[in-house]
Structure 1
Amino acid sequence: MRTAHARARHQADPQRFFTDPLASKILHLDLAPDALLPPSDDPIARHNIRFVAARSRFAEDSLASAVAAGTRQAVVLGAGLDTFAHRNPHAGLTVFEVDHPDTQEWKRQQMAAAGIALPPSLVFAPVDFERDTLAEALDAAGLDRTRPAFFIWLGVTPYLTRDAVLATLRCVAEHTAPVEVVFDYYLEPSSAMPPELRAAYETATRRVAEFGEPWLSHFTPDGLADELRAMQLDDIEDFTGPELLARYLGEPAPDGDADADVFGGHVLRAGRATAR
């Protein structure tokens, strides 16, 4: 819900760089654009909303490049209320949405209530990790391991243990054909983080824990890159939030410690161009 709200609120940003006309519809929001904007004096909220938009823009741009190279299968892990499958502009691209069956049923209800039809190119791949594995869910949904695939995994890794994150990435890496994945992750908060941002980070940490979904994992760029190379996902691009925002807002990339003024969110693309 919070991620969908961020995408909806970004639509009212005068510097909008990611378009998702369905984000507010799926939430049944009927608000004036000004009501969707973060308070003008809240730079943290503005940054977080733009970061959510930037990671989606990067993922969908990267997917478009993969489609141009011949990929016809996309997998959205932990899809939640993501709307890409309903905005899919790529003829012949099948989109597999992976999530808990209860979440998928809730999404179906939200879509029906909003009058948004399910496209024929969308395939739900329900997975209950108490009983199923990701590989089993994808096989049951019809993912073809002999054809290239592109995985999108946004807003999930902080809520999983390190072992669970790496196990999921290994499952992606075991795809027989060429494969790519875009996902985001968090660093430990920087020692250079200003006090007001440190306080905001600690507040956010406490809030998600109170919701019953605490942040459980952090990574370093070098350590994560080593893990990915060991899985043969050695084509790697890793961006900080400020670097992505600079790209999409048409601003110079930040100098120095790009994570000193934010919560340390990174967006990473990793891939393997050859079959296993």
Structure 2
Amino acid sequence: MQLGQPSRTALATAYARAYHQIASEPRIFTDPLAIQIADVTPDQLADLDSATMQEGDADGAMRRRRRMFLAARARFAEETITDAVAHGTRQVVILGAGLDTFAYRNPHPDVRVFEVDHPDTQAWKRQRLDATGIEIPPSLTFAPVDFESQTLAAGLADADFDRSRPAVFIWLGVVMYLTQETVLDTLRFIAGQATPVQVVFDYLYPASASTPEYVAQRTARADRVAAVGEPWLSFFTADEIANLLRDTGFDRVDDRAAPDLIAGYLGIPAQQSSTVPSHVLCATRSE
């Protein structure tokens, strides 16, 4: 992201999540605040979706697949939270929160939610909340962290996050924008939380493990995000990420390829994909 400005990719994700609520496609994830926090009308959402159509995607198929994956990963994350709360966890940390709305729909008043993000993005979000009339619940704590000058540990400590109690960490749409060293440091920090601790995050396969069709699509999208100052930096295969998680102390990994995750929520067989898709996973350290 560019200094002094909110994340452009966070805004794009918010538009996609909002458009999923009204698009003529199967509803995977329902978010009654998605359109409100995006602060645009349904007609404007449709225009935004058309205006940002990927080159060579005249019928919107690629954008529709991406939108469905964003909805599916959000549902997967919130189902993980629900399960963890049922087993006693009372802390949720959303890393790179952007315009995520879970904290404002949180059905568990005794569950504390910590939103971690760059100070500029967080200030922009708080302006959005105020302008759109979305109330900040007492269960939410903002934890602004500028990783150029502050660590995640320090930012959460300042927010009174309790390292001695179990927690769920939600880390969506972030890993690919970080260096592998930062990804490893963050996983080590999460693994150091009192058990049980879980982390949900998504990641991208490297080009070397991809078909030519996928490389072409991904290159075009990578160029777009790099142009707004948010380049992709890290890629993993499923085996690589599983080994990394085991090395940092996690003992269980539930990894889902995007088509499999989407098909599971739609109740249909997974379709064979000619491309290597995005993945989302839940890793657990139970002891």
TM-score with structure 1 setting the length: 0.92
RMSD (Å) for aligned C-alpha atoms: 1.9
What secondary structure, in the 3-state scheme, does the structure 2 residue paired with 1:24 have?
Answer: helix
Tell me what 1:261 maps to. Answer: 275
Tell me, yes or no, if structure 1 residue 251 matches structure 2 residue 251: no
Counterpart code for 2:100? D
- Structure 2: give runs of 5+ residues left out of the alignment: 1-10, 51-57
Tell me, yes or no, if structure 1 residue 231 matches structure 2 residue 248: yes
Determine the C-alpha separation between the residues in 2 that align with 1:97 and 1:29.
23
1:101 offset after TM fit, Å?
Answer: 1.5
What secondary structure, in the 3-state scheme, does the structure 1 residue paired with 2:42 have?
Answer: coil
State the identity as a percent. 53
Paired residues in the alignment total: 269
1:261 offset after TM fit, Å?
Answer: 3.0
Tell me what 1:240 maps to. Answer: 257
1:232 offset after TM fit, Å?
Answer: 1.4
- 1:8·1:36 contact (CA, 8 Å) conserved in 2? no
Tell me, yes or no, if structure 1 residue 273 matches structure 2 residue 286: yes
Tell me what 2:7 maps to. Answer: none
What secondary structure, in the 3-state scheme, does the structure 1 residue paired with 2:222 have?
Answer: helix
Determine the C-alpha separation between the residues in 1 that align with 2:221 and 2:188.
29
- 2:177·2:234 contact (CA, 8 Å) conserved in 1? yes
Tell me, yes or no, if structure 1 residue 24 matches structure 2 residue 24: no
Aligned 1:1-276 pairs, distance under 5 A: 1-13=11-23, 14-32=25-43, 35=46, 41-189=59-207, 193=211, 195=213, 197-255=214-272, 258=273, 260-261=274-275, 264-274=277-287
- 1:12·1:34 contact (CA, 8 Å) conserved in 2? no
What is the CA deviation profile of residues 100-155 of structure 1, one whole-angstrom value per residue up to 9, with x for unaligned ones? 12211111100100011111110001111122110111111111112110000000
- 2:19·2:45 contact (CA, 8 Å) conserved in 1? no
Determine the C-alpha separation between the residues in 1 that align with 2:141 and 2:249.
28
Counterpart code for 1:104? Q
Q: Is the alpha carbon distance of 1:133 and 1:37 closer, same or farther for their aligned partners in structure 2, counting shifts above 3 Å?
A: closer
The runs of at least 4 aligned residues of structure 1 exceeding 3 Å deviation read 36-40, 189-195
- 1:186·1:265 contact (CA, 8 Å) conserved in 2? yes
Counterpart code for 1:261? T
Q: Is the alpha carbon distance of 1:267 and 1:36 closer, same or farther for their aligned partners in structure 2, counting shifts above 3 Å?
A: farther
- Structure 1: give runs of 5+ residues left out of the alignment: none
Determine the C-alpha separation between the residues in 2 that align with 1:135 and 1:89.
27
